[in-house]
Amino acid sequence: MSEIAPITVVGGDGGTPFIYWPGQTGSVLKKLEVWVGEHQVGCIKITMSDGSGKTFGQTHNEHSSFSFDNGEYFSSLTLWSNNAGDHLGGIRLKTTNGRTFEAFPTGGKPQPAPTKVDVGSGNCFGVQGRADAEIDAFGFMFIKVS
């Protein structure tokens, strides 16, 4: 089995903990959908390359999505907590194909310092965090570079 890169979860301590990893299928993140409210990320839906997926939080407000091309992976990832420090506040990713995706609250980019995430090999095989009606905290799970 491959080693896991250090997992960075950003946000607050509320909500119910979750880990989503489809298992030994070898699937990686294919599509990321994000719904934002005025002050935080409200919902994240992930779809894996094997077609499995999961939604965290409740869909509402503004929606944006990003689909990875075949062979395209993360080259960088930055996460923000919201201004209150109790929820996920923003996401920015760049890919090996030079594309960028970002999602921030409708009230503007959060003020806390961004957290740069170690994306390892760029292959995201799962997520973890805390959520109920909104995303309290969120992190991506990556395969480590050997």
Pick the more confident residue, 26 or 28: 28
CATH node for 10-142: 2.100.10.30
> Where are the domains positioned within the chain?
10-142
End-to-end alpha-carbon separation of the chain, Å?
A: 12
Please return the burial class of 94, using the count of CB atoms within 10 Å of its CB with bins 0-12, 13-18 and 19+.
middle
Interval 65-113: pLDDT, tens = 999 999 999 999 999 999 999 999 999 999 999 999 999 999 999 999 9
CB 67 within 8 A of CB 55: no
pLDDT band at 1 (very low <50, low <70, confident <90, very high): low
What are 112's two structure tokens? Answer: 């806390």
Interval 120-133: pLDDT, tens = 999 999 999 999 99
The whole-angstrom separation of Cα 146 and Cα 139 is: 21
pLDDT band at 26 (very low <50, low <70, confident <90, very high): confident
Local structure of 140: helix, strand or coil: strand
